[in-house]
Structure 1
Amino acid sequence: MPLRCAAGCSVRDGEGTGVNQDPPERAAEEPHGSGAEQRGGRHELPAHRPRPEIGVVHRSGWSGFLRGDRSSPAFGTLAIVLCLLLGIAIVTQVRQTKTGDSLDTARPADLLVLLDSLRQREATLNTEVSELQNTLNSLQASGNTDQAAIQSAQARLAALSILAGAVGATGPGVTVTIEDPGPGVSPEAMLDVINELRAAGAEAIEVNDARQSVRVGVDTWVAGVPGSLTVDNKTLSPPYSVLAIGDPPTLAAAMNIPGGAEDSIKRVGARMSVQQADRVEVATLRQPKPHQYAQPVK
Protein backbone atom coordinates (compact mmCIF):
# COMPACT_ATOMS: atom_id res chain seq x y z
CA MET A 1 0.00 0.00 0.00
CA PRO A 2 1.43 3.38 -0.93
CA LEU A 3 2.33 5.73 1.90
CA ARG A 4 2.67 9.51 1.70
CA CYS A 5 5.48 11.19 3.52
CA ALA A 6 5.32 14.58 5.20
CA ALA A 7 7.24 16.18 2.30
CA GLY A 8 4.67 15.03 -0.22
CA CYS A 9 6.73 12.22 -1.81
CA SER A 10 5.29 8.70 -2.20
CA VAL A 11 6.96 5.41 -1.33
CA ARG A 12 5.95 1.80 -1.73
CA ASP A 13 6.60 -1.07 0.64
CA GLY A 14 9.85 -2.85 -0.17
CA GLU A 15 10.98 -0.19 -2.63
CA GLY A 16 13.82 2.08 -1.50
CA THR A 17 14.14 4.06 -4.64
CA GLY A 18 11.28 6.44 -3.80
CA VAL A 19 12.58 7.50 -0.39
CA ASN A 20 14.84 10.48 0.12
CA GLN A 21 17.50 9.20 2.45
CA ASP A 22 19.75 11.43 4.44
CA PRO A 23 23.45 11.42 3.80
CA PRO A 24 25.50 8.90 5.74
CA GLU A 25 26.99 11.51 7.97
CA ARG A 26 23.57 12.78 8.92
CA ALA A 27 22.42 9.23 9.61
CA ALA A 28 25.36 8.67 11.85
CA GLU A 29 24.48 11.73 13.91
CA GLU A 30 20.89 10.67 14.49
CA PRO A 31 20.31 8.57 17.57
CA HIS A 32 19.57 4.94 17.25
CA GLY A 33 16.17 5.38 18.68
CA SER A 34 15.02 7.05 15.50
CA GLY A 35 13.33 3.96 14.42
CA ALA A 36 10.50 4.85 16.70
CA GLU A 37 9.93 8.00 14.62
CA GLN A 38 9.61 5.87 11.45
CA ARG A 39 6.98 3.68 12.85
CA GLY A 40 4.29 2.75 10.46
CA GLY A 41 6.36 3.74 7.39
CA ARG A 42 6.19 7.60 8.16
CA HIS A 43 9.38 9.63 7.88
CA GLU A 44 9.48 12.82 9.93
CA LEU A 45 12.04 15.59 9.83
CA PRO A 46 14.22 16.23 12.77
CA ALA A 47 13.04 18.70 15.36
CA HIS A 48 15.87 21.18 14.69
CA ARG A 49 15.05 21.51 10.96
CA PRO A 50 12.30 24.10 10.11
CA ARG A 51 9.36 22.79 8.26
CA PRO A 52 8.71 24.40 4.87
CA GLU A 53 5.38 26.28 4.47
CA ILE A 54 3.20 24.59 1.95
CA GLY A 55 1.13 26.73 -0.44
CA VAL A 56 2.70 30.12 0.51
CA VAL A 57 4.15 32.03 -2.45
CA HIS A 58 6.32 35.11 -1.70
CA ARG A 59 5.82 38.05 -4.19
CA SER A 60 7.68 41.31 -4.56
CA GLY A 61 6.92 44.69 -6.23
CA TRP A 62 3.54 46.60 -6.39
CA SER A 63 1.53 43.40 -6.69
CA GLY A 64 3.16 42.00 -3.61
CA PHE A 65 2.66 45.31 -1.77
CA LEU A 66 -1.00 45.46 -2.66
CA ARG A 67 -1.59 41.83 -1.76
CA GLY A 68 0.26 42.23 1.53
CA ASP A 69 -1.09 43.29 4.87
CA ARG A 70 -3.76 45.96 4.15
CA SER A 71 -3.75 47.19 7.73
CA SER A 72 -0.22 48.62 7.42
CA PRO A 73 0.29 52.49 7.51
CA ALA A 74 1.85 52.47 4.06
CA PHE A 75 -1.27 51.01 2.52
CA GLY A 76 -3.49 53.67 4.24
CA THR A 77 -1.26 56.51 2.98
CA LEU A 78 -1.37 55.15 -0.57
CA ALA A 79 -5.18 54.90 -0.41
CA ILE A 80 -5.46 58.56 0.74
CA VAL A 81 -3.18 59.76 -2.05
CA LEU A 82 -5.17 57.83 -4.65
CA CYS A 83 -8.44 59.29 -3.34
CA LEU A 84 -7.03 62.85 -3.48
CA LEU A 85 -5.88 62.39 -7.06
CA LEU A 86 -9.23 60.96 -8.05
CA GLY A 87 -11.08 63.90 -6.40
CA ILE A 88 -8.91 66.47 -8.16
CA ALA A 89 -9.54 64.83 -11.52
CA ILE A 90 -13.31 64.79 -10.92
CA VAL A 91 -13.43 68.47 -9.85
CA THR A 92 -11.38 69.55 -12.87
CA GLN A 93 -13.66 67.67 -15.22
CA VAL A 94 -16.78 69.16 -13.61
CA ARG A 95 -15.43 72.70 -13.90
CA GLN A 96 -14.50 72.22 -17.51
CA THR A 97 -17.95 70.85 -18.20
CA LYS A 98 -19.67 73.79 -16.45
CA THR A 99 -17.59 76.50 -18.12
CA GLY A 100 -17.31 75.07 -21.58
CA ASP A 101 -20.41 72.99 -22.16
CA SER A 102 -23.02 74.58 -19.84
CA LEU A 103 -24.98 76.17 -22.65
CA ASP A 104 -24.37 73.33 -25.09
CA THR A 105 -25.65 70.73 -22.68
CA ALA A 106 -28.49 72.83 -21.22
CA ARG A 107 -32.05 71.84 -21.87
CA PRO A 108 -34.20 73.97 -24.18
CA ALA A 109 -36.44 74.93 -21.28
CA ASP A 110 -33.44 76.19 -19.30
CA LEU A 111 -32.23 78.16 -22.32
CA LEU A 112 -35.66 79.79 -22.68
CA VAL A 113 -35.63 80.80 -19.02
CA LEU A 114 -32.13 82.27 -19.38
CA LEU A 115 -33.12 84.15 -22.54
CA ASP A 116 -36.22 85.56 -20.85
CA SER A 117 -34.12 86.72 -17.89
CA LEU A 118 -31.65 88.46 -20.20
CA ARG A 119 -34.50 90.19 -22.05
CA GLN A 120 -35.98 91.43 -18.79
CA ARG A 121 -32.58 92.75 -17.72
CA GLU A 122 -32.20 94.51 -21.07
CA ALA A 123 -35.63 96.12 -20.71
CA THR A 124 -34.78 97.31 -17.21
CA LEU A 125 -31.52 98.85 -18.37
CA ASN A 126 -33.25 100.55 -21.30
CA THR A 127 -35.80 102.03 -18.90
CA GLU A 128 -33.06 103.35 -16.66
CA VAL A 129 -31.28 104.89 -19.64
CA SER A 130 -34.50 106.59 -20.76
CA GLU A 131 -35.14 107.98 -17.29
CA LEU A 132 -31.61 109.33 -17.03
CA GLN A 133 -31.89 110.89 -20.49
CA ASN A 134 -35.16 112.58 -19.52
CA THR A 135 -33.59 113.89 -16.34
CA LEU A 136 -30.65 115.25 -18.30
CA ASN A 137 -32.95 116.93 -20.82
CA SER A 138 -34.98 118.48 -18.01
CA LEU A 139 -31.87 119.80 -16.32
CA GLN A 140 -30.55 121.21 -19.58
CA ALA A 141 -33.91 122.82 -20.40
CA SER A 142 -34.17 124.23 -16.90
CA GLY A 143 -30.63 125.54 -17.13
CA ASN A 144 -31.33 127.18 -20.47
CA THR A 145 -34.58 128.67 -19.17
CA ASP A 146 -32.90 129.97 -16.06
CA GLN A 147 -30.09 131.45 -18.10
CA ALA A 148 -32.51 133.11 -20.50
CA ALA A 149 -34.52 134.49 -17.57
CA ILE A 150 -31.35 135.83 -15.98
CA GLN A 151 -30.28 137.48 -19.20
CA SER A 152 -33.73 139.01 -19.69
CA ALA A 153 -33.76 140.29 -16.12
CA GLN A 154 -30.32 141.78 -16.54
CA ALA A 155 -31.33 143.55 -19.75
CA ARG A 156 -34.49 144.91 -18.13
CA LEU A 157 -32.53 146.07 -15.11
CA ALA A 158 -30.05 147.89 -17.33
CA ALA A 159 -32.85 149.62 -19.26
CA LEU A 160 -34.63 150.68 -16.08
CA SER A 161 -31.38 151.82 -14.52
CA ILE A 162 -30.65 154.04 -17.54
CA LEU A 163 -34.18 155.40 -17.52
CA ALA A 164 -33.98 156.17 -13.81
CA GLY A 165 -30.55 157.74 -14.18
CA ALA A 166 -28.87 155.26 -11.83
CA VAL A 167 -26.10 154.35 -14.31
CA GLY A 168 -24.19 156.18 -17.03
CA ALA A 169 -25.08 155.70 -20.67
CA THR A 170 -23.46 156.12 -24.03
CA GLY A 171 -24.67 155.77 -27.59
CA PRO A 172 -25.76 157.72 -30.68
CA GLY A 173 -27.81 160.84 -30.15
CA VAL A 174 -27.95 164.60 -30.42
CA THR A 175 -26.57 167.66 -28.65
CA VAL A 176 -29.01 170.60 -28.38
CA THR A 177 -27.35 173.96 -27.66
CA ILE A 178 -29.49 176.90 -26.44
CA GLU A 179 -28.02 180.40 -26.39
CA ASP A 180 -30.05 182.93 -24.39
CA PRO A 181 -28.41 186.37 -24.44
CA GLY A 182 -31.71 188.13 -23.44
CA PRO A 183 -32.17 186.22 -21.23
CA GLY A 184 -35.62 185.05 -22.14
CA VAL A 185 -35.78 181.24 -21.97
CA SER A 186 -38.37 180.39 -19.36
CA PRO A 187 -38.74 177.20 -17.36
CA GLU A 188 -41.69 176.24 -19.60
CA ALA A 189 -39.53 176.55 -22.76
CA MET A 190 -36.82 174.29 -21.23
CA LEU A 191 -39.47 171.80 -20.15
CA ASP A 192 -40.86 171.74 -23.73
CA VAL A 193 -37.39 170.80 -25.06
CA ILE A 194 -37.05 167.94 -22.53
CA ASN A 195 -40.54 166.57 -23.23
CA GLU A 196 -40.08 166.70 -27.02
CA LEU A 197 -36.88 164.64 -26.69
CA ARG A 198 -38.62 162.10 -24.47
CA ALA A 199 -41.51 161.78 -26.89
CA ALA A 200 -39.04 161.18 -29.76
CA GLY A 201 -37.57 158.18 -27.92
CA ALA A 202 -34.62 159.61 -26.02
CA GLU A 203 -33.39 156.99 -23.55
CA ALA A 204 -31.09 159.22 -21.51
CA ILE A 205 -31.12 163.05 -21.15
CA GLU A 206 -28.73 165.39 -19.42
CA VAL A 207 -28.97 169.23 -19.01
CA ASN A 208 -25.72 171.16 -18.53
CA ASP A 209 -24.41 174.62 -18.17
CA ALA A 210 -20.81 175.78 -17.87
CA ARG A 211 -20.52 174.66 -14.24
CA GLN A 212 -22.75 171.69 -13.48
CA SER A 213 -25.07 169.12 -14.99
CA VAL A 214 -28.34 167.44 -14.09
CA ARG A 215 -29.46 163.96 -15.09
CA VAL A 216 -33.08 164.01 -16.16
CA GLY A 217 -35.28 161.39 -14.54
CA VAL A 218 -38.92 160.39 -14.46
CA ASP A 219 -39.72 163.02 -11.86
CA THR A 220 -37.51 165.87 -13.10
CA TRP A 221 -38.97 169.31 -12.63
CA VAL A 222 -37.94 172.81 -13.90
CA ALA A 223 -38.52 176.12 -12.15
CA GLY A 224 -36.89 179.55 -11.76
CA VAL A 225 -36.77 182.62 -13.94
CA PRO A 226 -35.22 183.37 -17.35
CA GLY A 227 -31.45 183.42 -17.05
CA SER A 228 -31.52 181.30 -13.85
CA LEU A 229 -33.31 178.02 -14.28
CA THR A 230 -33.61 175.52 -11.43
CA VAL A 231 -33.61 171.87 -12.53
CA ASP A 232 -34.04 169.35 -9.71
CA ASN A 233 -32.76 171.85 -7.12
CA LYS A 234 -29.73 172.82 -9.23
CA THR A 235 -29.49 176.33 -10.66
CA LEU A 236 -28.28 176.59 -14.24
CA SER A 237 -27.25 179.64 -16.24
CA PRO A 238 -27.15 180.14 -20.05
CA PRO A 239 -25.89 178.92 -22.39
CA TYR A 240 -27.55 175.56 -21.88
CA SER A 241 -26.61 172.23 -23.41
CA VAL A 242 -29.01 169.30 -23.59
CA LEU A 243 -27.58 165.81 -24.38
CA ALA A 244 -29.95 163.06 -25.52
CA ILE A 245 -29.20 159.41 -26.47
CA GLY A 246 -31.45 157.86 -29.09
CA ASP A 247 -31.94 157.73 -32.84
CA PRO A 248 -30.22 160.94 -34.08
CA PRO A 249 -32.50 161.73 -37.11
CA THR A 250 -35.65 161.13 -35.08
CA LEU A 251 -34.48 163.34 -32.22
CA ALA A 252 -33.37 166.10 -34.60
CA ALA A 253 -36.68 166.00 -36.45
CA ALA A 254 -38.57 166.31 -33.16
CA MET A 255 -36.74 169.55 -32.41
CA ASN A 256 -37.67 171.03 -35.81
CA ILE A 257 -41.40 170.34 -35.66
CA PRO A 258 -43.30 173.55 -36.56
CA GLY A 259 -44.81 175.07 -33.44
CA GLY A 260 -42.58 172.88 -31.28
CA ALA A 261 -39.62 173.44 -29.02
CA GLU A 262 -37.49 175.34 -31.54
CA ASP A 263 -40.27 177.84 -32.24
CA SER A 264 -40.74 178.36 -28.49
CA ILE A 265 -37.04 179.19 -28.06
CA LYS A 266 -36.95 181.57 -31.03
CA ARG A 267 -40.02 183.48 -29.86
CA VAL A 268 -38.14 184.71 -26.74
CA GLY A 269 -35.12 185.86 -28.74
CA ALA A 270 -32.90 182.80 -28.03
CA ARG A 271 -31.16 180.54 -30.54
CA MET A 272 -31.14 176.76 -30.67
CA SER A 273 -28.99 174.38 -32.74
CA VAL A 274 -29.13 170.55 -33.02
CA GLN A 275 -26.03 168.46 -33.79
CA GLN A 276 -26.29 164.73 -34.49
CA ALA A 277 -23.48 162.39 -33.37
CA ASP A 278 -22.69 158.68 -33.41
CA ARG A 279 -21.55 158.79 -29.84
CA VAL A 280 -22.99 160.83 -27.02
CA GLU A 281 -22.00 160.18 -23.42
CA VAL A 282 -24.32 160.85 -20.50
CA ALA A 283 -22.19 160.37 -17.39
CA THR A 284 -24.12 162.26 -14.70
CA LEU A 285 -25.99 160.01 -12.26
CA ARG A 286 -29.24 160.64 -10.50
CA GLN A 287 -29.52 159.70 -6.85
CA PRO A 288 -32.59 157.55 -6.23
CA LYS A 289 -35.15 158.82 -3.80
CA PRO A 290 -36.43 156.55 -1.04
CA HIS A 291 -39.92 155.22 -1.62
CA GLN A 292 -42.38 155.95 1.15
CA TYR A 293 -45.40 154.07 -0.16
CA ALA A 294 -44.62 151.89 -3.17
CA GLN A 295 -43.10 148.44 -2.57
CA PRO A 296 -42.02 145.87 -5.16
CA VAL A 297 -44.37 142.95 -5.71
CA LYS A 298 -42.79 139.62 -4.78
Structure 2
Amino acid sequence: MVEYTSGTSSWRKAVLRAGRAFTRLPGRRRSGWTLGVPLIAAAAGLLFTMSATVSAGTSLREDRRVALGELISKKEAETQDARMRVDQLRNEIDGLTDALAVGDGPVAQEHARGEGYLSAAGLTAVHGRGLTVRMDDAPNSADDDLTPGAATQDDLVVHQQDVQAVVNALWAGGAEAMTIMNVRVITTTAVQCVGNTLLLDGKRYSPPFVISAIGDPARLQAALDASNGVRAFRDAVRDYGLGYSVTREADIQAPAYQGSVLLRHASVPR
Protein backbone atom coordinates (compact mmCIF):
# COMPACT_ATOMS: atom_id res chain seq x y z
CA MET A 1 0.00 0.00 0.00
CA VAL A 2 1.29 3.47 -0.87
CA GLU A 3 0.72 6.29 1.59
CA TYR A 4 0.63 9.92 0.44
CA THR A 5 1.41 12.66 2.88
CA SER A 6 1.16 16.42 2.63
CA GLY A 7 4.12 18.73 2.56
CA THR A 8 7.31 18.71 0.52
CA SER A 9 8.84 15.46 1.78
CA SER A 10 6.61 13.10 -0.23
CA TRP A 11 7.17 14.67 -3.63
CA ARG A 12 10.92 14.92 -2.96
CA LYS A 13 10.97 11.18 -2.29
CA ALA A 14 9.05 10.59 -5.51
CA VAL A 15 11.63 12.60 -7.46
CA LEU A 16 14.49 10.70 -5.84
CA ARG A 17 12.87 7.39 -6.76
CA ALA A 18 12.51 8.55 -10.32
CA GLY A 19 16.16 9.57 -10.37
CA ARG A 20 17.28 6.17 -9.16
CA ALA A 21 15.22 4.56 -11.91
CA PHE A 22 17.28 6.43 -14.49
CA THR A 23 20.52 5.04 -13.07
CA ARG A 24 19.46 1.38 -13.08
CA LEU A 25 20.73 -1.17 -15.56
CA PRO A 26 23.74 0.80 -16.80
CA GLY A 27 24.79 -1.89 -19.28
CA ARG A 28 21.46 -2.03 -21.12
CA ARG A 29 19.88 0.37 -23.53
CA ARG A 30 16.91 2.21 -22.05
CA SER A 31 13.64 2.13 -24.01
CA GLY A 32 11.07 4.93 -24.14
CA TRP A 33 8.95 3.17 -21.52
CA THR A 34 11.97 2.86 -19.21
CA LEU A 35 12.39 6.63 -19.27
CA GLY A 36 8.71 7.60 -19.44
CA VAL A 37 7.20 5.49 -16.68
CA PRO A 38 9.31 6.98 -13.86
CA LEU A 39 8.49 10.51 -15.07
CA ILE A 40 4.77 9.74 -15.19
CA ALA A 41 4.92 8.17 -11.73
CA ALA A 42 6.77 11.17 -10.34
CA ALA A 43 4.26 13.61 -11.89
CA ALA A 44 1.33 11.58 -10.55
CA GLY A 45 2.84 11.52 -7.06
CA LEU A 46 3.35 15.28 -7.18
CA LEU A 47 -0.27 15.86 -8.28
CA PHE A 48 -1.65 13.58 -5.56
CA THR A 49 0.41 15.40 -2.94
CA MET A 50 -0.69 18.84 -4.14
CA SER A 51 -4.35 17.75 -4.18
CA ALA A 52 -4.10 16.44 -0.63
CA THR A 53 -2.47 19.67 0.53
CA VAL A 54 -4.98 21.96 -1.20
CA SER A 55 -8.08 20.00 -0.17
CA ALA A 56 -7.06 19.85 3.51
CA GLY A 57 -9.31 16.83 3.97
CA THR A 58 -12.31 18.28 2.08
CA SER A 59 -13.82 17.36 -1.29
CA LEU A 60 -12.45 19.32 -4.25
CA ARG A 61 -15.50 18.49 -6.38
CA GLU A 62 -18.20 19.44 -3.92
CA ASP A 63 -21.57 20.37 -5.42
CA ARG A 64 -21.89 24.12 -4.89
CA ARG A 65 -25.45 24.49 -6.20
CA VAL A 66 -26.92 24.23 -2.71
CA ALA A 67 -24.54 26.90 -1.39
CA LEU A 68 -25.40 29.15 -4.33
CA GLY A 69 -29.13 28.82 -3.65
CA GLU A 70 -28.58 29.69 0.00
CA LEU A 71 -26.51 32.72 -1.02
CA ILE A 72 -29.26 33.95 -3.36
CA SER A 73 -31.89 33.55 -0.62
CA LYS A 74 -29.68 35.44 1.83
CA LYS A 75 -29.12 38.29 -0.62
CA GLU A 76 -32.85 38.48 -1.33
CA ALA A 77 -33.55 38.87 2.40
CA GLU A 78 -30.87 41.57 2.64
CA THR A 79 -32.37 43.34 -0.38
CA GLN A 80 -35.83 43.27 1.20
CA ASP A 81 -34.48 44.78 4.43
CA ALA A 82 -32.64 47.47 2.47
CA ARG A 83 -35.78 48.26 0.46
CA MET A 84 -37.79 48.75 3.65
CA ARG A 85 -35.09 51.06 4.98
CA VAL A 86 -35.08 53.03 1.71
CA ASP A 87 -38.85 53.47 1.85
CA GLN A 88 -38.58 54.75 5.41
CA LEU A 89 -35.87 57.24 4.54
CA ARG A 90 -37.74 58.37 1.41
CA ASN A 91 -40.85 59.10 3.47
CA GLU A 92 -38.77 61.06 5.98
CA ILE A 93 -37.15 63.11 3.22
CA ASP A 94 -40.51 63.83 1.59
CA GLY A 95 -41.96 64.93 4.92
CA LEU A 96 -39.04 67.25 5.67
CA THR A 97 -39.16 68.70 2.14
CA ASP A 98 -42.88 69.39 2.35
CA ALA A 99 -42.47 71.03 5.75
CA LEU A 100 -39.59 73.20 4.55
CA ALA A 101 -41.44 74.26 1.39
CA VAL A 102 -44.24 75.79 3.46
CA GLY A 103 -42.15 78.71 4.63
CA ASP A 104 -39.44 78.91 1.97
CA GLY A 105 -40.37 80.30 -1.44
CA PRO A 106 -37.38 79.02 -3.49
CA VAL A 107 -37.68 75.56 -1.95
CA ALA A 108 -41.41 75.51 -2.71
CA GLN A 109 -40.73 76.53 -6.31
CA GLU A 110 -38.13 73.77 -6.86
CA HIS A 111 -40.37 71.28 -5.08
CA ALA A 112 -43.22 72.07 -7.46
CA ARG A 113 -40.90 71.80 -10.47
CA GLY A 114 -39.68 68.39 -9.31
CA GLU A 115 -43.22 67.16 -8.84
CA GLY A 116 -43.83 67.80 -12.53
CA TYR A 117 -41.15 65.28 -13.50
CA LEU A 118 -42.38 62.44 -11.30
CA SER A 119 -44.97 61.11 -13.72
CA ALA A 120 -42.59 61.05 -16.71
CA ALA A 121 -39.98 59.26 -14.57
CA GLY A 122 -42.46 56.56 -13.55
CA LEU A 123 -42.52 57.62 -9.90
CA THR A 124 -46.30 58.05 -9.70
CA ALA A 125 -49.07 55.47 -10.03
CA VAL A 126 -51.00 55.59 -13.32
CA HIS A 127 -53.74 53.60 -15.00
CA GLY A 128 -55.27 53.26 -18.43
CA ARG A 129 -56.09 50.88 -21.26
CA GLY A 130 -53.47 48.70 -22.90
CA LEU A 131 -52.24 45.13 -23.39
CA THR A 132 -51.18 42.29 -21.11
CA VAL A 133 -48.74 39.66 -22.42
CA ARG A 134 -48.32 36.31 -20.67
CA MET A 135 -45.29 34.09 -21.32
CA ASP A 136 -44.85 30.63 -19.84
CA ASP A 137 -42.58 27.59 -20.03
CA ALA A 138 -43.78 24.51 -21.85
CA PRO A 139 -45.54 21.93 -19.65
CA ASN A 140 -43.42 19.06 -18.35
CA SER A 141 -45.36 16.62 -20.50
CA ALA A 142 -43.98 18.35 -23.59
CA ASP A 143 -40.73 16.42 -23.09
CA ASP A 144 -42.52 13.23 -24.11
CA ASP A 145 -43.80 14.74 -27.36
CA LEU A 146 -40.40 15.85 -28.66
CA THR A 147 -38.55 13.88 -31.27
CA PRO A 148 -35.22 12.64 -29.81
CA GLY A 149 -32.43 14.99 -30.88
CA ALA A 150 -34.85 17.62 -32.24
CA ALA A 151 -34.85 19.92 -29.17
CA THR A 152 -33.24 20.47 -25.81
CA GLN A 153 -34.55 21.51 -22.42
CA ASP A 154 -33.56 25.11 -23.23
CA ASP A 155 -36.16 25.11 -26.00
CA LEU A 156 -38.93 24.55 -23.44
CA VAL A 157 -38.37 27.58 -21.19
CA VAL A 158 -38.76 31.36 -21.49
CA HIS A 159 -35.38 33.05 -21.78
CA GLN A 160 -34.17 36.53 -20.91
CA GLN A 161 -34.06 37.59 -24.56
CA ASP A 162 -37.70 36.54 -24.99
CA VAL A 163 -38.87 38.83 -22.18
CA GLN A 164 -36.62 41.60 -23.46
CA ALA A 165 -38.08 41.28 -26.94
CA VAL A 166 -41.63 41.80 -25.62
CA VAL A 167 -40.59 44.71 -23.38
CA ASN A 168 -38.68 46.47 -26.17
CA ALA A 169 -41.54 45.96 -28.62
CA LEU A 170 -44.05 47.48 -26.19
CA TRP A 171 -41.83 50.50 -25.59
CA ALA A 172 -41.43 50.87 -29.37
CA GLY A 173 -45.22 50.71 -29.69
CA GLY A 174 -45.62 53.81 -27.55
CA ALA A 175 -46.18 52.31 -24.10
CA GLU A 176 -46.74 55.09 -21.57
CA ALA A 177 -46.14 52.85 -18.54
CA MET A 178 -45.27 49.20 -18.04
CA THR A 179 -45.21 46.56 -15.32
CA ILE A 180 -43.64 43.11 -15.10
CA MET A 181 -45.25 40.85 -12.49
CA ASN A 182 -47.09 43.99 -11.30
CA VAL A 183 -43.74 45.72 -10.61
CA ARG A 184 -43.36 49.09 -12.33
CA VAL A 185 -40.50 49.22 -14.79
CA ILE A 186 -38.94 52.28 -16.37
CA THR A 187 -36.62 52.81 -19.32
CA THR A 188 -33.53 51.99 -17.24
CA THR A 189 -34.91 48.80 -15.70
CA ALA A 190 -32.78 45.76 -16.56
CA VAL A 191 -34.45 42.46 -17.43
CA GLN A 192 -32.31 39.62 -16.06
CA CYS A 193 -32.96 35.90 -15.76
CA VAL A 194 -31.34 33.51 -13.26
CA GLY A 195 -31.99 30.04 -14.57
CA ASN A 196 -35.68 29.96 -15.44
CA THR A 197 -36.58 32.74 -12.99
CA LEU A 198 -36.77 36.47 -13.59
CA LEU A 199 -34.73 38.81 -11.40
CA LEU A 200 -36.35 42.21 -10.98
CA ASP A 201 -35.26 44.80 -8.41
CA GLY A 202 -33.51 42.12 -6.33
CA LYS A 203 -36.48 39.72 -6.23
CA ARG A 204 -37.01 36.50 -8.18
CA TYR A 205 -40.19 35.64 -10.08
CA SER A 206 -41.14 32.31 -11.60
CA PRO A 207 -43.09 31.88 -14.84
CA PRO A 208 -45.63 32.57 -16.12
CA PHE A 209 -44.30 36.08 -16.68
CA VAL A 210 -46.99 38.78 -16.96
CA ILE A 211 -46.10 42.02 -18.76
CA SER A 212 -48.66 44.83 -18.91
CA ALA A 213 -48.31 48.06 -20.89
CA ILE A 214 -50.53 51.14 -20.88
CA GLY A 215 -51.04 52.69 -24.30
CA ASP A 216 -52.94 52.42 -27.54
CA PRO A 217 -53.76 48.68 -27.81
CA ALA A 218 -53.65 48.70 -31.62
CA ARG A 219 -50.19 50.29 -31.75
CA LEU A 220 -48.87 47.99 -29.04
CA GLN A 221 -50.18 44.91 -30.87
CA ALA A 222 -48.68 46.09 -34.16
CA ALA A 223 -45.29 46.57 -32.47
CA LEU A 224 -45.43 43.03 -31.06
CA ASP A 225 -46.29 41.60 -34.48
CA ALA A 226 -43.42 43.53 -36.11
CA SER A 227 -40.75 42.42 -33.62
CA ASN A 228 -38.34 39.76 -34.89
CA GLY A 229 -37.63 38.61 -31.34
CA VAL A 230 -41.33 38.19 -30.53
CA ARG A 231 -41.89 36.30 -33.79
CA ALA A 232 -39.02 33.94 -32.89
CA PHE A 233 -40.63 33.24 -29.52
CA ARG A 234 -44.01 32.63 -31.15
CA ASP A 235 -42.33 30.08 -33.43
CA ALA A 236 -41.06 28.32 -30.31
CA VAL A 237 -44.58 28.46 -28.91
CA ARG A 238 -45.85 26.68 -32.00
CA ASP A 239 -43.05 24.11 -32.11
CA TYR A 240 -42.51 23.32 -28.43
CA GLY A 241 -45.72 24.24 -26.66
CA LEU A 242 -44.60 27.29 -24.68
CA GLY A 243 -47.26 29.68 -23.43
CA TYR A 244 -47.96 33.05 -25.08
CA SER A 245 -51.10 35.16 -25.02
CA VAL A 246 -51.99 38.82 -25.56
CA THR A 247 -55.07 40.33 -23.91
CA ARG A 248 -56.56 43.79 -24.34
CA GLU A 249 -57.24 45.48 -21.01
CA ALA A 250 -59.69 48.30 -20.35
CA ASP A 251 -57.91 49.57 -17.23
CA ILE A 252 -54.36 48.55 -16.24
CA GLN A 253 -53.11 49.69 -12.82
CA ALA A 254 -49.39 50.55 -12.79
CA PRO A 255 -47.96 51.37 -9.34
CA ALA A 256 -45.20 53.91 -8.84
CA TYR A 257 -41.62 52.76 -9.39
CA GLN A 258 -39.99 51.95 -6.07
CA GLY A 259 -36.45 51.05 -7.14
CA SER A 260 -33.30 53.10 -7.21
CA VAL A 261 -33.16 56.06 -9.58
CA LEU A 262 -29.38 56.41 -9.30
CA LEU A 263 -27.94 56.74 -12.80
CA ARG A 264 -24.40 55.33 -13.06
CA HIS A 265 -23.79 55.88 -16.76
CA ALA A 266 -25.38 57.89 -19.55
CA SER A 267 -24.41 59.14 -22.98
CA VAL A 268 -25.87 61.75 -25.31
CA PRO A 269 -27.03 60.30 -28.66
CA ARG A 270 -25.45 61.86 -31.73
Q: TM-score, normalised to structure 2's length?
A: 0.44
| Structure of greater relative contact order (alpha carbons < 8 Å, 6+ residues apart) | 2
In our comparison, the structure showing a higher alpha carbon Rg is: 1
What TM-score do you get using the length of structure 1 for normalisation? 0.40
